[in-house]
Amino acid sequence: MQYPFKEAKDGVGKAMNSSDDKVLVIHDERMLQHRPDVDERFLPGRLDRRVREILDGLAVKWHYPEHPGRLSAITQRLEANPLPGISFREGRPASNAELARVHTRSYLREIDRLRDQHAWLDVDTTAVSPGSVEAAEVAAGSAIVAVEAIIHGEAQSAFALCRPPGHHAESVRARGFCLFNNVAVAAAHAREALGCERVLVVDWDAHHGNGTQEIFWASPGVMLVDFHRAAPFYPGSGHLTDVGAGLGEGYTVNVPLPGEVGDLGMLRAFREVLVPAADWFQPDLILVSAGFDPHRLDLCMNLTHDGFRNMTRVIQELAAQHCDGRAAFVLEGGYHLDALSQGVRAVLETLAGGSVPELVEPGYPEVEEAAAFHRGAFSEEP
Ligand SMILES: [Zn+2]
């Protein structure tokens, strides 16, 4: 079978006019060139020594979990099990001016100086390798391509397969595997270049999107609704009472949840917090920071792929109600390769109109079956 991404690069413009192609996937192999290797010597030396001390104290050898295999697992699964209604397009690097809408010029200069080097950026294991700065520029640019495609009506929805991820990156700081805040760059682009006034960012990654929160803390033009595992889980922010400030007060909505939360709890949070928030905000565009680490195999929360399908359907319904169905998804975390790749596929299938199963508490159907099987044994009736 032909590799679908290669095939799509030529014919995407025409294909997108077909009513069969509702969902655009942005994929770019330059993002595979971000590959920090912990065995390399890193700059700066002092931070390197500090990180080494932490890593040497671990019982198991640590490998950089945000590795190129994450994207490969997704593309291989989509190649092995193609979905109807999906088209593919390459990303592009975000320009300095586009990044500077959410990051300071001095931060961008610092990152630019690290081009082609191995360096730690933060003690919480954000690192760059040769190729990383370009990969990060392409990740942010891919989120922009996704938003442009849906605003221009070339697709109903889009999913940018970004790495490095973005939602921990603050205006002046790389954190948590993130260099540039991809979803924030896309939201700012939508407002400043594409005529959107109110952008809703839904963050369902298991970790709080501290960077997105910091960037739009005082902005009433971008509402962040963030579902995450509660502090002290990394990064430790996202408290219920953190609601934004100044003109942005009320436009940051945090939903801290216990690690035990599963599909039913998350869907209830969507229905009882996200839906009324979106109805009040009236977005003209919805962006999703889509991390797949809430999946139970990633050990942060207790969701299944049916949970992601239901969450995606709620986003679709909100988008249909408020903004002509326009929703763009941006990949954040997710480190268990099967859970991640199946999760992305489940979201794409739902976006393309796939059916969504009703959620039940795991085990309930089996309990009913067992009860029916045994019922006769405890009854005197024939
Ligand atoms: Zn995460």
Burial of 152 (0-12, 13-18, 19+ CB in 10 A): exposed
| pLDDT tens profile 320-351 | 999 999 999 999 999 999 999 999 999 999 99
DSSP letter at 128?
E
Going by pLDDT thresholds of 50, 70 and 90, the confidence category of residue 3 is very low
pLDDT at 379: 81
| pLDDT tens profile 256-272 | 999 999 999 999 999 99
Give me ligand 1 centre to Cα 11, in Å.
34
Give me ligand 1 centre to Cα 379, in Å.
51
Going by pLDDT thresholds of 50, 70 and 90, the confidence category of residue 142 is very high
Give me ligand 1 centre to Cα 210, in Å.
11
Give me ligand 1 centre to Cα 362, in Å.
24
| Strand 119-122 relative to strand 126-128, pairing | antiparallel
pLDDT at 20: 45
Going by pLDDT thresholds of 50, 70 and 90, the confidence category of residue 163 is very high
| pLDDT tens profile 202-230 | 999 999 999 999 999 999 999 999 999 99
300 pLDDT exceeds 90? yes
19 pLDDT exceeds 60? no
Asked if residue 382 is part of any domain, the answer here is: no
Going by pLDDT thresholds of 50, 70 and 90, the confidence category of residue 178 is very high
| pLDDT tens profile 80-92 | 999 999 999 999 9
270 vs 232, 241, 311, CA distance in Å?
Answer: 22, 18, 7
189 is catalytic: no
Going by pLDDT thresholds of 50, 70 and 90, the confidence category of residue 21 is low
Going by pLDDT thresholds of 50, 70 and 90, the confidence category of residue 355 is very high
First to last CA, the chain: 59
Nearest to 125 by CA among 67, 182, 205: 67
41 pLDDT exceeds 90? no
15 pLDDT exceeds 60? no
- Average pLDDT over every residue of 38-42: 83
130 pLDDT exceeds 60? yes
Q: How far is the C-alpha of 187 from the C-alpha of 140, rounded, in Å?
A: 11
**Contacts with 345 (C-beta within 8 Å, 6 or more apart), sequence order:** 74, 77, 78, 81, 83
Please, which residues bridge with residue 171 across strands? none
pLDDT at 165: 98
Asked if residue 113 is part of any domain, the answer here is: yes
Output 299 or 180, whichever has higher pLDDT: 180
| Domain count across the chain | 1
Q: How far is the C-alpha of 207 from the C-alpha of 197, rounded, in Å?
A: 27
Asked if residue 137 is part of any domain, the answer here is: yes
The catalytic position among 27, 34, 103, 168 is 168
Give me ligand 1 centre to Cα 290, in Å.
9
pLDDT at 40: 82
Give me ligand 1 centre to Cα 206, in Å.
5
Give me ligand 1 centre to Cα 298, in Å.
10
Which structure tokens are listed for 201? 């960012």
Asked if residue 80 is part of any domain, the answer here is: yes
- Average pLDDT over the chain reads 92
Going by pLDDT thresholds of 50, 70 and 90, the confidence category of residue 4 is very low
- Average pLDDT over every residue of 284-312: 97
Which structure tokens are listed for 203? 């963050």
Going by pLDDT thresholds of 50, 70 and 90, the confidence category of residue 380 is confident
Give me ligand 1 centre to Cα 129, in Å.
21
Give me ligand 1 centre to Cα 112, in Å.
25
pLDDT at 17: 38
Give me ligand 1 centre to Cα 19, in Å.
34
1 pLDDT exceeds 80? no
Asked if residue 62 is part of any domain, the answer here is: yes
11 pLDDT exceeds 60? no
Q: How far is the C-alpha of 159 from the C-alpha of 226, rounded, in Å?
A: 19
Residue range of the domain that includes 238? 4-375
Give me ligand 1 centre to Cα 335, in Å.
9
Q: How far is the C-alpha of 269 from the C-alpha of 266, rounded, in Å?
A: 5
| pLDDT tens profile 94-115 | 999 999 999 999 999 999 999 9
**Count of C-beta atoms within a 10 Å radius of residue 193:** 15
Please, which residues bridge with residue 201 across strands? 224, 287
pLDDT at 111: 96
CA 93 to chain centre: 18
Asked if residue 381 is part of any domain, the answer here is: no
**Count of C-beta atoms within a 10 Å radius of residue 180:** 28
Asked if residue 196 is part of any domain, the answer here is: yes
CATH number, residue 330: 3.40.800.20
Cβ–Cβ under 8 Å, residues 205 and 293: yes
Q: Nearest 10 degrees: CA dihedral of 185, 191, 196, 202? A: 40
